[in-house]
Amino acid sequence: MDFRHLTLPSLQRAFKHALTQRTLLALLVVLLVAGCSSTKLAYRYADWGIVWWVEDYITLTGDQKQQLNRDIETLRQWHCSAELPRYRTWLDELEADVAKGPPSETTVAYHQEQVFDFFPSLLQQATPVAVNLLSSLSDEQVRELATNMEESQQDMEQEFLADSPQATAEARAERTTERVERWLGDLNEDQHNIVQDWSASRGSQTEIWLQGRRNWQLALLDVLEHRSEPTFPQQLEALILNSEKVRGEAYQAMMRESRVAMAELMHELIEAGDRTTLTHLQGRAEELNSDFKTLSCAPDPEVAGG
pLDDT score for 291: 81
Model pLDDT for residues 275-299, shown as the tens digit of each residue: 999 999 999 889 888 888 887 676 6
Model pLDDT for residues 104-132, shown as the tens digit of each residue: 999 999 998 998 898 888 889 989 999 99
Question: What integer is the mean pLDDT of 97-103?
Answer: 91
pLDDT band for position 31 (cuts 50, 70, 90): very low
**pTM score:** 0.80
Model pLDDT for residues 69-86, shown as the tens digit of each residue: 899 888 888 888 998 899
**Quick check: 258 pLDDT over 60?**
yes
pLDDT score for 304: 40
pLDDT band for position 6 (cuts 50, 70, 90): very low
Model pLDDT for residues 148-170, shown as the tens digit of each residue: 999 999 998 888 887 788 888 88
Model pLDDT for residues 194-224, shown as the tens digit of each residue: 999 999 998 888 899 999 999 999 999 999 9
Distance CA 217, CA 210 (A): 11
Distance CA 277, CA 71 (A): 40
pLDDT score for 14: 35
For residue 244, give Cα distances in angstroms to 22, 153, 173, 251, 282: 11, 18, 24, 7, 32
Task: Write down the mean pLDDT value for the chain.
Answer: 82
